Amino acid sequence: MPPRPALAVKVDNYPSARPQSGLDKADVIFEEPVEGGITRYAAVFQCQEAASVGPVRSARNIDIGILGQLGNPLLVHVGGITPVLANIDASPLVNVDLGANGDIETHPAGREAPYDTYSTTAQMWGTHPSMMSPPQPLFTYSSSLPAGGTPVASVNVNFSGTSDVTWKYNPAISAFQRFYNGSQPDMLADGNQNTAANVIVQYVHISYGPWVENSEGGLEVQADLYPDAGGNAEVFRGGVAIAGTWHRSTLGSPTQFLNAAGAVIPMQPGQTWVELVPDTITAVITP
């Protein structure tokens, strides 16, 4: 791995923010539930560069739990409410607020605020040039398909009306392609469709508050991600689903995804999307 920290960028996923840029260059993308039933991405870069990433939006408290397993990642965002920023500053995460780093912001033509703040991975890493330690690996990888998987054509995660997500397996490319509302391809600004070698559905227990996040009264979404947290999970790779569980012992330890026998589920080499699904929602699998 390159001698640099993980770079986690908060990318908006409200419909007005689409199409996004740079997600196809990330190693791992976490899709997290936030207020109002919408979702937001924590796109983690380590191995590849991206010439444009965005639109970059504000941080959430859930980011600490998601990203703590990466050690001391740079968390790039644009602002946030006061208690959330205070918690980030007190955490192992390195706070990189583009609002205080305007010299590395770009505002592409045709984009309107608040969906117009972008940057490059080189500029974002450049805010902390002396940090040269890569994170510990989050996953174990194997090109061989694990035993015990169930063949699947697609998996649907209906977060809400603004994020009704379906991943459809395409055997021609040995990967899952992402769609909205069943049939609308989730395209990036460069014309590429969001595609994943691995899709992990991680069921998490969430709660709301104590802080209000927006003028509509939307409460901050909190997730039970550590310590000694766990729940059900499903890993989708190579056209199969592997049912299992997840467990995380501490903020700094990677989440373990285990099969029914308690063994670690290996991922297929390539990009991984982790869908942090509230345990009040059930993903629907099409065999």
DSSP code per residue over the chain: --SS--EEEEEE-SGGGPSPBSGGG-SEEEEEE-GGG-EEEEEEESS---S-BB-B----THHHHHHGGGSS-EEEES---HHHHHHHHTSSSEEEEGGG-GGG-B--TT--TTS--BB-HHHHHTTSTT--PPPPPS--B-SSPPTT-EE-SEEEEEEETTEEEEEEEETTTTEEEEEETTTEE-B-TTSPBPEESEEEEEEE-EEEEEEE-STT-PEEEEE---SSEEEEEEEEETTEEEEEEEEE-STTSPPEEEETTSPBPPBPSS-EEEEEEETTS--EEE-
Averages of pLDDT over each 10 residues, the chain, 287 residues: 95 97 98 94 98 97 98 97 96 96 94 96 98 96 92 97 97 97 96 98 95 86 96 98 97 97 96 97 96
CATH number of 7-125: 3.50.90.10
pLDDT digits (tens, 9 = 90+) for 77-117: 999 999 999 999 999 999 999 999 999 999 999 999 999 99
Residue 218: the pLDDT is 85
Residue 216: the pLDDT is 83
- pTM as predicted: 0.97
Residue 36: the pLDDT is 86
Domains of the chain by residue range: 7-125
Residue 150: the pLDDT is 96
